Amino acid sequence: MPELADYTMSHTEFVSFETDDGIELNGFFIKPTDFDPEKKYPVITYGYGNAGSQIVVNRWGTQRGPQQDLWHRYMAEQGYIVFAVDNRTTQGRGKAAKNLTYGEYGKYAVLDYIQAVDYLKQQPWIDGSRIGFWGWSGGGYLAAALMTKAAPHFAVAVSVAPVIDLTHYQAAGVERWMGTPSENQSGYDAVNVMNDADKLQGKLLLIHGTGDENVKFAFTLQFADALIRADKQFDMLVYPNQRHGISDFRGHVFKTMSRYFDDHL
């Protein structure tokens, strides 16, 4: 594209690795164009994780558009390695894989990202003490879960518009995976990140628009309340009147994330 002719960008490198229980997962790296295998790099991982989703794809852009992909390549040029993986319940793996989500939303997304950290630490050019994560919406939930349920595998995370408590989320987006709360109360309790607020380790930034029509701003407030009651330190950025995509201030979101990873990772 002529608009990008003046910019240096790294190509995506696709990989696969096997979990401890023998499941092959697909991932990708975006490395700096001056990548040096003798150096140790910090890693920014990205994920979404919902059953039927897919982010490791051989095409330009991600499920949230090209801005996100451009930001990943920008951060690679700032000296980070960007990494993503599709967990075992994601698209292209068949219905049996998708069915693993039923009753246990997010379980395998969390477990497979822990496996991904083990894989990353096996690479000699990765600094295993400097692994971060970011996600939006379902990925925002994953960010919060990885910093609590999966602590201390990730040092830093940014959670944008996170789904925190599925009990109050839209039925169409939840009950097809979880059943109703009356049928599966233990499943809903297990997925509720507020119940794990006391496990938070590392640096966490919560971002949300107050006008979010999809994942309500109240979710982030409830999680913030739980973190405060657990005497945990965290950071928070609120976008007044912005909807789920924070579309009016995307540039501000990505600048904030850049600064947060630069400061803490």
Question: CA–CA separation, 161 vs 138, rounded Å?
Answer: 8
Whether 244 is catalytic is yes
Structure tokens at 212: 């979010």
The conformation of residue 10, written as its DSSP 8-state character, comes to: P
Peptide bond just before 240 cis, omega within 30 deg:
no
Given the residues 69, 72, 86, 137, the one annotated as active site: 137
Whether 137 is catalytic is yes
How far apart, in Å, are the Cα atoms of 222 and each of 183, 206, 219? 24, 12, 5
H/E segment holding residue 223: helix 217-229
Given the residues 69, 112, 196, 212, the one annotated as active site: 212
Give all strands of the β-sheet with 203-209 in edge-to-edge order: 12-18, 24-30, 81-86, 41-46, 126-136, 156-160, 203-209, 235-239
Structure tokens at 168: 């109050």
Q: List active site positions.
A: 137, 212, 244
